[in-house]
């Protein structure tokens, strides 16, 4: 009989607690990019640049022109459960920002060498830098020039958690995930200009897109000409719900569900109810086993949707799921039906 020896209970030291929590949000370079870009979006940026080296295992850099972080707040931004985005449960219920858990920077800094340079001031001389590295919990703050906004540099991801570093795939695979994350986020906000570089090469340069033409240009550059040539635009509003975007013609289905983008209030969402409504709408027009392509935006009152379901926040819960489901289904069903009618009868317009 094996009996384990009694051990005293101890409170985990904060760094270890952060490393454990990091398991939830930081899976690979792409998850770091997602979190840093969300912060840049929440800061009200109009331009976000993502720079990657070696698939993200050597360097992930996200630079924005947002509100910046003040000198006093810099060390705090790296500690757990520290956020500027909510202060009460009431605020959580109507939260409009992408972040609110105050966990990302603490988690990322516990499994990498993190450097953050920021400035809340128009004068670029008034910036500050904070570095968190290795086992040091107390971050050091020093003056550093930076234009208004923030740059976060994450070097050597998982350098101190070898078990996790081992799970990183090839540079190409990891960058593929980074690019997909970037694609989703660049599609989520046309009012932001974006840049993506890998190993010093610029792969995407996307200017602000305010007009329909500019938005379609962005779509073309992220998803290819083929997507746009085979998609319908739609924009339907019923009550407080609005659905707009692009849906692929049934003739342009794919073998994999790899070009499906759905945003709820600008948040990337993978949701069963949404997926079901879309599948139903395509049911009669798509061959079995094929997948539609779409880039769709659902705008709803933030108070009727709960985003605090999962740490990565990919899931949402609608207060009235039935109504949302019916709205999605009927909007898409009608748009696809009209397209088919138009196809059969070219003169119908």
Judged by CB under 6 A, how many residues of this single chain contact ligand ADP?
23
Q: Assess 39 for contact with ligand ADP (CB under 6 A).
A: yes
Site string for ligand ADP, 299-318 (x = CB under 6 A): --------------------
Could you give the C-alpha distances from 136 to 25, 74, 78, 85, 236, in angstroms and in order?
Answer: 21, 15, 12, 26, 53
Site string for Mg ion, 185-204 (x = CB under 5 A): --------------------
Site string for ligand ADP, 140-179 (x = CB under 6 A): ----------x-----------------------------
- Using CB under 6 A, which of 22, 25, 32, 40 touches ligand ADP? 40
- Considering only residues 102 to 141 of the shown chain, the ones binding ligand ADP according to CB under 6 A are 102-106
Phi and psi based region of residue 225 (left: phi greater than 0; alpha: psi -120 to 50; beta: remaining): alpha
Beta bridge partners of 62: 50, 152
Q: Assess 66 for contact with Mg ion (CB under 5 A).
A: no
What does 69 bind: ligand ADP, Mg ion, none (CB cut-off 5 to 8 Å by kind)?
Answer: ligand ADP
Instruction: Find the shortest distance in angstroms from Cβ 24 to ligand ADP.
Output: 13
- Considering only residues 79 to 118 of the shown chain, the ones binding Mg ion according to CB under 5 A are 99, 104
- Using CB under 6 A, which of 22, 43, 178, 243 touches ligand ADP? 43
Q: Which residues bind ligand ADP (CB under 6 A)?
A: 35, 39-40, 43, 64, 66-69, 77, 82-85, 99-106, 150
């Amino acid at each position: 009989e094996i009996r384990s020896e009694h051990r005293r209970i101890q409170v985990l030291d904060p760094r270890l607690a952060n490393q454990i929590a990091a398991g939830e949000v930081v899976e690979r370079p792409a998850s770091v990019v997602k979190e840093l870009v969300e912060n840049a979006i929440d800061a009200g940026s109009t331009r976000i640049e993502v720079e990657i080296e070696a698939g993200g295992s050597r360097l992930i850099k996200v630079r924005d022109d947002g509100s910046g972080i003040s000198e006093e707040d810099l060390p705090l931004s790296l500690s757990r459960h520290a956020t500027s985005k909510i202060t009460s449960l009431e605020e959580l219920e109507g939260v409009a920002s992408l972040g609110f858990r105050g966990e990302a920077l603490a988690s990322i800094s516990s499994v990498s060498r993190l450097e953050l340079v920021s400035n809340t001031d128009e004068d670029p001389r008034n910036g500050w830098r904070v570095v968190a590295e290795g086992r040091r919990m107390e971050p050091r703050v020093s003056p550093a020039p930076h234009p208004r906004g923030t740059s976060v540099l994450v070097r050597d991801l998982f350098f101190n958690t070898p078990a996790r570093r081992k799970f990183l795939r090839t540079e190409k695979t990891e960058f593929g995930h980074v690019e997909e994350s970037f694609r989703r986020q660049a599609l989520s906000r046309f009012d932001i200009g974006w840049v993506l570089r890998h190993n010093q090469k610029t792969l995407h340069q996307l200017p602000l897109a305010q007009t329909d033409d500019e938005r379609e240009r962005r779509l073309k550059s992220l998803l290819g000409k083929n997507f746009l040539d085979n998609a319908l635009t739609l924009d339907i509003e019923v009550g407080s719900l609005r659905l707009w975007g692009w849906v692929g013609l049934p003739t342009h289905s794919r073998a994999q569900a790899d070009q499906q983008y759905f945003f709820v209030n600008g948040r990337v969402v993978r949701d069963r109810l949404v997926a079901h409504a879309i599948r139903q709408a395509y049911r009669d027009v798509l061959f079995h086993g094929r997948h539609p392509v779409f880039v769709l935006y659902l705008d709803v009152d933030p108070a009727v949707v709960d985003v605090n379901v999962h740490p990565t926040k990919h899931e949402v819960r609608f207060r009235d799921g039935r109504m949302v489901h019916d709205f999605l289904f009927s909007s898409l069903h009608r748009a696809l039906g009209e397209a088919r009618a138009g196809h059969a009868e070219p003169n119908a317009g």
